[in-house]
Amino acid sequence: MQRTLVIVGASYAGVQLAASVREMGFDGRIVLLGDEPDAPYQRPPLSKGFLTGGFAEARLPLRSQAFFDEENIEWMPSVRATRIDRERCEIELHDGSCIAYDHLALTTGARVRKLDCVGAEHRAVHYLRDLRDARQLAQTARTARQAVVIGGGYIGLEAAASLRQQGLDVTVVEAESRLLARVASPWISDFMLRAHVERGVAFELGRKVAALHDVNGRVAVELDNGARLPGDLVVVGIGVSPNTELAADCGLHVEGGIAVDACARTSDPSIVAAGDCASFVPHWAPSGARACRIESVQNANDMAKTAAASILGRPEPYRALPWFWSDQYDLKLQMAGVNTGFTDFAVRGSVEERKCSLFYFRDNTLIAVDSINRPQDHMLARKLLASGTHVSAGQVRDPAFDLKSLAGSATHAIRGVA
């Protein structure tokens, strides 16, 4: 009898999971549910090239319709799952219909956190999570002169850079005392601040938004110190919240996300979860660490492969190394590993030329590397971190030290073990 896999969520994790189970030999029915009308698409360009007009919408789709047809994957757009019946192994949809499943995958992603203040519903306010958001913001930006960006994380800074490149006057408001406070080191925070200031972006650090006021169709963003920032548009980038309601309502364990084990399995053996919605204790986390979520394309894709293996009855613990990237102006920031708790760091390359890397150490062990316009360093760092090869801060600081050869030896060591 043919088995059915239902995947709820048609972004990176959902599409990769569907592709992976087919590649691994799953010959049953695959149903991919997406609540958006557009074909699954790339999200990172939305705050970068798509906003500036340098990345055409035609390039956004993750896969062609031919892929879904050839792999016999039933992609269902504009469909919202409303309830999971675990006893009957059924998914109820928004129109009242049901789909029975043998395996269920939750790749429901996350949604933007909304601004909570007086005037937050002003028509000038934009969020940037999906393609509809990006289309609306791009259209508004064409005739705007002044923009206020609320949030100094990666989305906020990428949006600020894109808007500034289009000639808008941009002010970024950040509640923390520095940019990227949750995800980057103080060194990177200062570097990115200088880069934006040099290009004309203004900043209000350590300030919260008190209210938004309509001023003859435009908007004034009132801060907690009474200052008012005028604008034609406001972009809000204050983080996301995981979509866990389906999981929680059917009794699955939720802990900051849909809780999964090292093999992406939820508390129900027939259900897996992957991507932004899933929380787990990473293999690289210190002893006693709590479960966390990793919001990245890399994690969504690699975790989906782990979930696919579990569906096929071949579970393998998730061991992928986290890596991220951000494009702002002519700066490509690439991050490998997680620098939480670093005790030392070493800089390699030229800070003045904006081609440098920061190597982070905890107790003399390399734990992460941030690279700015040094893509080769990024690739070498991923090899070093994956292999656990020892490198010292002194070696990193020595421009004569052959880091490439060391990383090459690490690669051979990994292949030898495999």
What is the DSSP secondary-structure string of 356-409? Answer: EEEEEEETTEEEEEEEES-HHHHHHHHHHHHHT----HHHHH-TTS-HHHHHHH
Q: Would you list the DSSP string of 73-126? A: EEEETT--EEEEETTTTEEEETTS-EEE-SEEEE---EEEPPP-SBTTT-TTEE
Facing residues of 170 across strands? 147
- Give, in degrees to the nearest 5, the angle at Cα 384 between 383 and 386: 65
Report the predicted TM-score, pTM, of the whole model to 2 decimal places. Answer: 0.93
Average pLDDT per consecutive 10 residues, the chain (418 residues; last block may be shorter): 94 98 97 96 94 93 96 97 97 97 98 97 96 96 97 97 97 98 95 98 98 96 98 97 98 97 97 98 86 95 98 96 95 95 94 96 94 96 91 91 76 46
d(CA 34, CA 14): 9
Q: For the chain, which domains are there?
A: 4-111+242-311 (3.50.50.60), 125-238 (3.50.50.60), 330-417 (3.30.390.30)
The predicted pLDDT at position 411 comes to 52
Q: CA torsion angle for 49, 53, 55, 58 (degrees, to 10)?
A: 140
The predicted pLDDT at position 410 comes to 54
Buried b / exposed e across 179-198, counting CB within 10 Å, b at 16+?
A: bbeebbbeebbebbbebbee
Facing residues of 125 across strands? 234
